[in-house]
Chain A
Amino acid sequence: MSNRFRFILIGSILTFASAFGGLVLLPVWGLGNFEQVPDPETGEMIPPLLTNQEQRGLQVYVKNGCIYCHSQQVHPERARTDLARGWGSRRTVAHDYMNQGRAQLGTMRTGPDLSNIGVRNPSLTWHLLHLYDPQTTSPGSIMPPFRFLFEEQEIGEAGPSPDALSIPAGFAPPEGREVVPTAEVLDLVAYLQSLRLSEYEVPEAAAARIESVIE
């Protein structure tokens, strides 16, 4: 009878190990060793490393859970309408993510995909306003406001701060007060502006472009 117990143990470990090999080790070996390559036109190394500020921005993105509503993956035409919605010029490939540190591919699209938000919307002012209160730029949005990433303060003797946001009427703070972005939110926007995952000519890009539009 104790043999039967051993049989359960060994069986459970072997079935587990088979999937571990296929779904953990194989990805680690096959998808965990990408290297930068020179851009065929400019010779710069791509995909670029994140700057220190962009890395800090990724941390802000991570800790405030942007991933729960926004994906970072562009799908081919045959699967979904990502290309038609302007979410990227081609589907993304594994190589595109090599410098992202913590992958934020996501599983939910309550909000639009952000793989190429840096291309689609590079404006610092737009992002700051949108994060301060999404209703200012996207009326009807159900994204939460991130006012806690800004500081509201008295306008000083020397007049308004040069960093102060110009907020549309109805959303602006009371007379005599202004809203300035914190370092955290500036890092976050720098990271968002850096998101151009479909834009780099990695070796897999040409095939991905073709595959993107095959029905």
Chain B
Amino acid sequence: MTASDFTKTEGLSASPAEQREMLQRRLEIDRAARWPVGIFLGSSILWLVLGSLLALAASIKMHDPEFLANNPWLTFGRVRPAHLNVVAYGWLSTAGIGIGLWILSRLCGVAIEEYRSLALAALLWNVGNVVGTWGILRGDSTAVEWLEYPTYAAPFLLISFAFVTMTAFSIMRRRRPGHIYISQFYIMAGFIWLPALFFTAHGLLVLFPVQAPAQPPINWWYAHNVLGLWFTPIALGAVYYLIPKIIGKPIHSYYLSIIGFWSLAFFYAWNGMHHLIGGPYPAFLITASVVASVMMFIPVVTVAINHHFTMIGHFKDLKYSPTLRFVVFGAMSYTLVSFQGSLSAIRELNYITHFTHYTIAHAHLGAYAFASMVFFGAIYYIMPRLLEREWPSRGLIRMHFWGSAIGITIYFVMLSRGGLLQGIELNLKETPFMEIVEATIPYLKWRSVGGSLMTIGHLAFMVSFVWMVIDRRNRGSEPTLFANRKPGETKSAS
């Protein structure tokens, strides 16, 4: 968005009549989105809480193997994939669909016409997740990492997502004339990539499996790209939308954002094989992904420049705006996790870090500290507009932020350290295996501490959300900020 576009869409240079028309349009967009987007966002929070409980159970089991050990439904090898799928498809994807469609609808300046069928699709998506999670716990997990939902859950998800993608196309086709903003690039691409990825991978790995040696490359192409071509584009699209909206300033460079998009599209898609370094595969296949991983420096640096340079001069807004605080935390984590990812793909470092808890910590830096934190921020921004009512308690939002922020920091730092230790010792042939197991236990306990804090944050989030939906009392037109602005600071951040 150029500076003049931004002034125009924000109505900064509009006449009073034009401003009224724009506000009216936004109201119509938000009212059409209320049910479908509301169902996606609301159910995503329930999945977040369930995913956190499964995560905690799995985490405790790793240092206390007798915990919930006698029920086959709750054995570690089922609870862990249930956690992963619940957070990947129940939390991140459900929230991602809602956030993506709402931003798309706002940026295109048109309401969602298909809101009835989309609300049904939202229900169907949730049915798919319930069936899939139940399937894993009862013993139908596929043990294909990131695709553990059994085949009978897949049609619900695919049909529902087909509706979502069709709705996105319909919004884009009807868009008001003018510029296409970078968030629209990212979100549309994500809505195309996810169904293509899921359909291909589930088909070739679970439904009609190819011969076993060909499965792991496809598995890791899929697993890495769910993050790279689905969570990442939606989250980056949201950051590109929210930061300028809240601080009232256009992004630093429009051209860089385009370079960032296309380099991400090309290089991220080729990631994944670095999970197979040392494994039984030809070197060129693995090298292709190592190279693509390192090339990810290009999109990451362009996005980092854009996000962080836009923020310069506005860091004081972090004191007030919950959305901004979550989103900026997420944007900074994106830079960090991407640099870390590029480095971990280099063979000599991968020999130490892969196959250890270090990789798990890295995955959480991406899926949680980046994607989830951005999604939290986006939900704090979107819900008051959907419901025409403000968040009920700044204390709960504060509890959510600090629970999540401190929790993931402990999680990442301690588990990375434990993982490095594990990797270094594994590569010393004199160290007996059991000694390594014992050495990691303190770090695994720290992981449970971090995870508990995150769960407390999520519970605060859920209470906040339910309270907001149930309590229809008018809480005034002022956004719920962390602190009241002093008179004279009039920016309408929320």
Contact = CB atoms under 8 A, between A and B. Distances in A.
B185 interface: yes
A126 interface: no
Interface in A98-118: 98-105, 107-112
Contacts of B428: 81
B407 to A, nearest CB: 22
A140 B438 CA distance: 7
**Size band of the interface chain A makes with B:** 35 or more
A91 B179 CA distance: 55
B65 A134 contact: yes
A28 interface: yes
Interface string B145-176: 10000000000000000000000000010000
Contacts of A4: 180
A22 interface: yes
A148 B276 contact: no
Pick the 6 closest A-B CB pairs, nearest first.
A65-B77, A19-B269, A32-B214, A84-B429, A75-B278, A79-B278
**Size band of the interface chain B makes with A:** 35 or more
A27 B266 CA distance: 19
A107 B213 contact: no
A76 to B, nearest CB: 7
A148 B213 contact: no
Contacts of A16: 192-193, 196, 229, 265, 269
Interface in B202-224: 204, 209-219, 221
A13 interface: yes
Interface string A137-157: 010111111111000000000
Interface stretch (B279-287, B381-389, B478-486): B279-287
B189 A66 contact: no
B303 to A, nearest CB: 17
A180 interface: no
A64 B81 CA distance: 10
Interface stretch (B29-37, B134-142, B332-340): B134-142
Interface in B255-269: 262, 265-266, 269
A107 B145 contact: yes
A24 B200 contact: yes
Nearest to B437: A142
B210 A28 contact: yes
Interface in A19-71: 19-20, 22-24, 26-28, 30-34, 61-69, 71
A103 B288 contact: no
A84 B65 CA distance: 28
A24 B221 contact: yes
Contacts of B351: 79-80
Given A16-B229, A141-B65, A68 B281 contact: no
A9 interface: yes
Contacts of B360: 108
Interface in A70-101: 71, 73, 75-76, 79-81, 84-85, 91-101
Given A65-B81, A81-B428, A144-B66, 14 more contacts: A12-B188, A18-B266, A31-B281, A63-B139, A63-B143, A80-B355, A92-B279, A103-B213, A105-B276, A107-B275, A108-B355, A141-B65, A141-B434, A145-B69
Interface of B: 61-63, 65-66, 69-72, 75-78, 80-81, 139-145, 172, 177-180, 184-185, 188-189, 192-193, 196, 200, 204, 209-219, 221, 225, 229, 262, 265-266, 269-270, 272-273, 275-282, 285, 288-289, 347, 351, 354-357, 359-360, 426-429, 433-434, 437-438, 441, 444
B78 A63 contact: yes
B142 A20 contact: no
B16 to A, nearest CB: 28
B352 to A, nearest CB: 9
A20 to B, nearest CB: 7
Contacts of A61: 143
B80 A65 contact: yes
A213 B184 CA distance: 51
A173 interface: no
Nearest to B434: A140
Contact of A81 (B61, B81, B429): B429
Given A22-B288, A109-B426, A67 B218 contact: no
A108 B58 CA distance: 15
A60 to B, nearest CB: 9
A112 B355 CA distance: 11
Given A62-B142, A67-B145, A68-B77, A73 B212 contact: no
A138 B360 CA distance: 25
B78 A11 contact: no
Contacts of B426: 80-81, 109
A103 B278 contact: no
Contacts of B265: 11-12, 15-16
Given A1-B178, A34-B211, A102-B143, A27 B285 contact: yes
B78 to A, nearest CB: 6
Contacts of B269: 15-16, 18-20
B65 A143 contact: yes
A31 B72 contact: no
B355 A107 contact: yes
A23 B221 contact: yes
A102 B437 contact: no
Nearest to A32: B214
A68 B61 CA distance: 13
A8 interface: yes
B280 A96 contact: yes
25 contacts: A8-B184, A12-B265, A16-B196, A16-B265, A19-B269, A23-B221, A23-B285, A24-B218, A27-B218, A27-B285, A31-B217, A61-B143, A64-B77, A65-B78, A65-B80, A65-B81, A66-B77, A73-B278, A94-B213, A94-B280, A101-B209, A102-B143, A140-B437, A144-B76, A147-B70
